[in-house]
Amino acid sequence: MDIRGKKILVIGGAGLIGSHVVEELLKEDVEEVIVYDNFCRGTCENLEEALKDPRCRIFEIGGDILQTDVLDAAMKGVDGVVHLAALWLLQCYEFPRAAFDVNIRGTFNVLEACVANKVARLVYSSSASVYGDAVEEPMTEGHPYNNWTFYGATKIAGEHMFKSYHTRYDLNGVGLRYMNVYGPRQDYKGTYIAVMMKILDNLDKGFPPVVFGDGSQAYDFIYVGDAARANVCALKSDVPFGFYNVGRGIKTSIKELTDLILKITGSDLNIQYEPAGQTFVTNRVGDATAAENDLGFRWTVDLEDGLGRLIQWRKSHIKEVEKRRKKAGIEEA
């Protein structure tokens, strides 16, 4: 879709990925970017820079995907929608009824509103959680659904609802299966990336970084700016429908991640290993080939550079990080 002169609605646009999607869209010649967010997890601070652009605004009436009349009003005259709103993994584990309402019923509401308002293209945020632990590596989009979490189940449901709406109503767009997205503005609620913030908290206090288990748990870490660009690529793509991995295709263990943080910060502390706690997935790395071939998306920020940017953001946003720490119920550093 040619997004020049178009109006784009970003649902969940105040969150980690969403706020970066908004900024990436504003680099394009769009007419307007509208943020639709209930600020359950997203923050106004995440949108501070974007809102300086007169083409960007927060939808004034509301931002909850369960309020169908408000959602419908937000989509009037919109050409493209990026849907990122969802309860995260641990919330889905602890509150499955709420997860059903937001992630499944809410996504259905988005699909219904898109059709009712003749939206040309939808980009849906799915997750690599649909795969669960890797059965084969790297995981292509044809990897079986090996998910055992309710969060993953809601994303699978969202994918199939989108698929059916594409078939029945010709609603075009793609779903993006993010690997482990990290970077500036992240909070402490990401199940697999919160470890970065907690390690940095310990280093700030002069305490050793803590790794639970032997550190062999391994994931595919993708910088948030790259994940945001993937959304813009998907929106601009002419692919009528499909699901795509968003990652680097590079596996990094938690031990390797911790060693890299120690290197970047210049710390001489040693890793402190503790008994393994609850872990939903221990091994996941995606094949990024299809997204490059079909959507024109390729990652650009390697892990060391991305961690450096995260560390710099923490240093320049001390008060904001403290607010996120308190919101997550973590004691002060």
Contact 153, 103 (CB under 8 A): no
Which is the catalytic residue, given 36, 124, 131, 151? 151
Rounded-to-integer distance, Cα 4 and Cα 239, Å: 18
Rounded-to-integer distance, Cα 322 and Cα 201, Å: 10
SS3 of residue 31 by DSSP: coil
b/e map 112-149, b = 16+ CB within 10 Å: bbbbebebbbbbbbbbbbbbbebeebbbebebeebbeb
Q: Is 165 tagged catalytic?
A: no
Question: Encoding tokens for residue 266?
Answer: 């210049």
SS3 of residue 279 by DSSP: coil
Question: Encoding tokens for residue 243?
Answer: 């699901």
Sign of CA dihedral 12, 15, 21, 23: positive
User: Comparing C-alpha atoms, which of 163, 105, 93 is closest to residue 129?
Assistant: 93
Any idea of the CA torsion for 194, 195, 198, 203, to the nearest 10 degrees?
-140
Task: Sort 99 into a burial class: Cβ within 10 Å, 0-12 / 13-18 / 19+.
Answer: buried
Contact 247, 39 (CB under 8 A): no
Contact 11, 81 (CB under 8 A): yes
User: Comparing C-alpha atoms, which of 137, 179, 144 is closest to residue 291?
Assistant: 179
Contact 183, 13 (CB under 8 A): no
Mention every residue, 6+ apart, whose C-beta is less than 8 A from residue 318: none
SS3 of residue 333 by DSSP: coil
Annotated catalytic residues are: 151
